[in-house]
A and B are shown apart, each in its own frame.
Chain A
């Protein structure tokens, strides 16, 4: 029975490929949506990943960077720098700002750098200098690409005018583009004299980060200290949390679309072979065997669709990144696993309609003209 069904599918190659392509289309959308959120969540923590900190110190109760407000007295940086196991403690200011460029307003996060805090600045440059002085700003290169501004241009930061002195690489994410300014400029904007947002702590070689974080929390009042991995994980989780439900719903609707396409194809195949199925039944082939064959058929279409979707996604990723440089795409193993699990469920559901049809085929029709 299975052989017969597979041969039937093979004879209808065009129809099979068309259906698999339709299924692939439905899955591509889901895979890309997941990749967008995963890529964005990863890119959101680009600064935290690259900044020279084994331990991040912030206001007590704050556990991450994105959309958080943290204020710590500036003198605590010196107190931390003097602790055993600490090689360096670099304070930064951090705040959400609006950057105005050529009539466009972009949301960004500004890192305020103290003079000499080179290591807390951008880690890769496309042009210009990495350390902004007072009245200067370093923008992500993507901002410049989007607006056409270059080095020497003036941009607005609330009521300040700053000169673009550098374009950094890898600092853009849709939700969290990072610009760098002098700490004094940002302190002015935030009216935050005498305070810093985060303290980037570098450990002595061989010093365990978790133990150092615990020591800092013991020795310095009213701060939270987190090892880098835990700190960045919190931001990734926050980013994914913001899109979790919408991804779930789009997965559901995309899967529904795939299920209908598969059911349509499988039904078309069995409906066209109604008479042959009747003959098979008249010859003693049991419904159970026919169901199994239909199940394999839908699984085959689903598997082929999923495979095509993954191939299409791999092809589309560089194209989308080139067309829309603002987005970062990342296909994770978890997303692939979820897509495969969804495909299994979709195949099982889609087999139901043709199976129900098969069950109703009357063997007597085999002997009618």
Chain B
């Protein structure tokens, strides 16, 4: 059976290749869409983890890092640093603003840091050294053609692009890192707010633990000492942000991925159907030679599985290539194709595709007429 299926496939290699390519493209669509969704969540997780702190202190009632306003009293830093087990509390502030000329604006997340929480891994240029310096994500640099040394005008205030970093974006929004001096200058010199009090100067405190201190115990002590604050481990905060991302993106991504699965099954089924119709005469010959229906169905199934064996790595390759192209050309996105759970789901979907694809041509195979098998076409 396997040998017969193999020979049928290799008898017309171009047709087999085109079939495999079509199935591979369907697999790639699923993997890219799923990878895109996983990438959204991975970016949210990374946005927390890249700050480099085991504990985060937020305003009481705030349980997320991104997309939410948190405002801590200025005095809380001293109160937190007085807690046993805290080596240092590093301030960070973040808020969304829009950037770019009218007609080509994009939201950016302005992340203000002091001694911890800045950009990790600068790929071009240098770190922040002066008040007007900014390090921008490659996604923003690519979208607006920005390079180190270029001006970065935010709310009429002129920053300088000091460096470019990668992988620092979330919620389809690139990050821009500035220092506290830059933020104060921005507030005072630009029109960004009527007065400083309208923007939180201290959103979160990143906690550096003293040697030997236990994160959970320190978190409890901080919450006791500073009632207007809530404390989270980086795992908790990252999980909260991922949950928020799922709440936001999963309905639409679920619908699109579900649709991609359906279309994938349809494509595989139709391709196998068309291929089986094209080989109708061969099945007629098999019938005339005494092959039973189940043998022919097994051959069709084997053929489908062989196509899938060829198509899966090809589809994975196309998906990885597309993901690479997306991340290079539009670095604000991350397409996480090789996420294990995503691959497992896609593999299960592809298996379902194979079963559906093999079931679809049953009627054609069953009706193959042995009497016309030897007639010239």
Look across to chain B and name the residue whose beta carbon is closest to the beta carbon of A258: B25
Given contacts A105-B63, A105-B247, A257-B22, contact A195 B194 (CB under 8 A): yes
A81, CB-defined interface residue at 8 Å: no
Residue from A160, A245, A324 in contact with B326 in the complex, judged by beta carbons closer than 8 Å: A245
Q: Which residues of B contact A327 (CB under 8 A)?
A: 251-252, 255
Q: Are B326 and A71 in contact (CB under 8 A)?
A: no
Q: How large is the interface on A (under 10, 10 to 19, 20 to 34, 35 or more residues)?
A: 35 or more
Main secondary structure of the interface of B (DSSP, over half): helix
Which of B11-19, B79-87, B129-137, B209-217 lines the interface with chain A?
B11-19
Residue from A32, A71, A159, A272 in contact with B193 in the complex, judged by beta carbons closer than 8 Å: A71
Given contacts A61-B192, A63-B98, contact A241 B105 (CB under 8 A): yes
Q: Which residues of B contact A63 (CB under 8 A)?
A: 98, 102, 105
Given contacts A21-B270, A238-B105, contact A174 B59 (CB under 8 A): no
Q: Are A96 and B107 in contact (CB under 8 A)?
A: no
Residue from B12, B19, B68, B333 in contact with A98 in the complex, judged by beta carbons closer than 8 Å: B68
Which among A29, A252, A326 has the greatest number of chain B C-beta atoms within 10 A? A29
Number of A-B contacts (CB under 8 A): 232
Q: Which residues of B contact A245 (CB under 8 A)?
A: 326, 329-330, 332-333
CA distance A272 to B25 in the complex (A): 24
Q: Give the contacts of B46-69 with A (CB-CB under 8 A).
A: 59-64, 67-69
Given contacts A98-B244, A175-B248, A267-B14, contact A14 B25 (CB under 8 A): no
- Chain A, residues 104-140, CB within 8 Å of chain B (1/0): the string is 1111000000000000000000000000000000000
Which among B60, B62, B260 has the greatest number of chain A C-beta atoms within 10 A? B260
Residue from A21, A69, A253, A263 in contact with B29 in the complex, judged by beta carbons closer than 8 Å: A253
Q: Which residues of B contact A320 (CB under 8 A)?
A: 255
Look across to chain A and name the residue whose beta carbon is closest to the beta carbon of B29: A253
CB distance from B258 to the nearest CB of A (A): 9
CB distance from B155 to the nearest CB of A (A): 4
B191, CB-defined interface residue at 8 Å: yes
Q: Which residues of B contact A61 (CB under 8 A)?
A: 155-156, 190-192
CA distance A189 to B157 in the complex (A): 27
CA distance A268 to B60 in the complex (A): 66
CA distance A159 to B61 in the complex (A): 4
Given contacts A107-B248, A323-B255, contact A59 B98 (CB under 8 A): no
CB distance from B274 to the nearest CB of A (A): 5
A22, CB-defined interface residue at 8 Å: yes
- Chain B, residues 245-279, CB within 8 Å of chain A (1/0): the string is 00111011011100110110011001101110110
Residue from A18, A36, A174, A253 in contact with B256 in the complex, judged by beta carbons closer than 8 Å: A36
Residue from B61, B95, B105, B200 in contact with A156 in the complex, judged by beta carbons closer than 8 Å: B61
B198, CB-defined interface residue at 8 Å: yes
Q: Give the contacts of A31-78 with B (CB-CB under 8 A).
A: 32-33, 36, 59-64, 66-69, 71-73
Q: Are A249 and B107 in contact (CB under 8 A)?
A: no
Q: Are B267 and A64 in contact (CB under 8 A)?
A: no
Q: Give the contacts of B189-210 with A (CB-CB under 8 A).
A: 190-194, 197-200
Q: Are A29 and B274 in contact (CB under 8 A)?
A: no
B106, CB-defined interface residue at 8 Å: yes
Residue from A33, A62, A72, A243 in contact with B98 in the complex, judged by beta carbons closer than 8 Å: A62
Given contacts A68-B97, A97-B68, A253-B25, contact A246 B326 (CB under 8 A): yes
A232, CB-defined interface residue at 8 Å: no
Q: Which residues of B contact A271 (CB under 8 A)?
A: 12, 14-15
CA distance A236 to B129 in the complex (A): 37
CA distance A268 to B19 in the complex (A): 10
Q: Are B251 and A272 in contact (CB under 8 A)?
A: no
Q: Are B194 and A73 in contact (CB under 8 A)?
A: yes
Residue from B21, B105, B191, B198 in contact with A192 in the complex, judged by beta carbons closer than 8 Å: B198
Given contacts A61-B192, A175-B248, contact A25 B18 (CB under 8 A): no
B172, CB-defined interface residue at 8 Å: yes
Q: Which residues of B contact A260 (CB under 8 A)?
A: 18, 21-22, 25
Look across to chain A and name the residue whose beta carbon is closest to the beta carbon of B154: A61
Main secondary structure of the interface of A (DSSP, over half): helix
CB distance from A129 to the nearest CB of B (A): 26
B104, CB-defined interface residue at 8 Å: yes
Q: Which residues of B contact A106 (CB under 8 A)?
A: 247
Q: Which residues of B contact A253 (CB under 8 A)?
A: 25, 28-29, 32, 318, 322
CB distance from B373 to the nearest CB of A (A): 16
A254, CB-defined interface residue at 8 Å: yes
Q: Which residues of B contact A18 (CB under 8 A)?
A: 270, 273-274, 277
Q: Are A59 and B193 in contact (CB under 8 A)?
A: yes
Q: Are A69 and B156 in contact (CB under 8 A)?
A: no
CB distance from A369 to the nearest CB of B (A): 10
Q: Are A268 and B274 in contact (CB under 8 A)?
A: yes
Q: Which residues of B contact A268 (CB under 8 A)?
A: 15, 274-275, 278
Q: Which residues of A contact B274 (CB under 8 A)?
A: 15, 18-19, 264-265, 268
Q: Which residues of A come within 8 Å of B, CB atoms?
A: 12, 14-15, 18-19, 21-22, 25-26, 28-29, 32-33, 36, 59-64, 66-69, 71-73, 95-98, 104-107, 156, 158-160, 174-175, 189-192, 194-195, 222, 234, 237-238, 241-243, 245-246, 249-250, 252-254, 256-257, 260-261, 263-265, 267-268, 271-272, 275, 316, 320, 323-324, 326-327, 353, 357
**Contacts A63-B98, A324-B254 supplied; 16 other A-B pairs, CB < 8 Å:** A18-B273, A22-B267, A25-B266, A68-B98, A69-B97, A71-B198, A159-B60, A174-B249, A238-B106, A241-B105, A241-B106, A249-B32, A253-B25, A257-B25, A264-B22, A327-B252
Q: Which residues of B come within 8 Å of A, CB atoms?
A: 12, 14-15, 18-19, 21-22, 25-26, 28-29, 32-33, 36, 59-64, 67-69, 71, 95-98, 102-107, 155-156, 172-173, 190-194, 197-200, 240, 243-244, 247-249, 251-252, 254-256, 259-260, 262-263, 266-267, 270-271, 273-275, 277-278, 318, 322, 325-326, 329-330, 332-333, 377
Interface CB pairs A-B, < 8 A, 10:
A25-B270, A36-B252, A68-B107, A95-B69, A97-B69, A107-B244, A107-B248, A175-B248, A250-B33, A252-B322
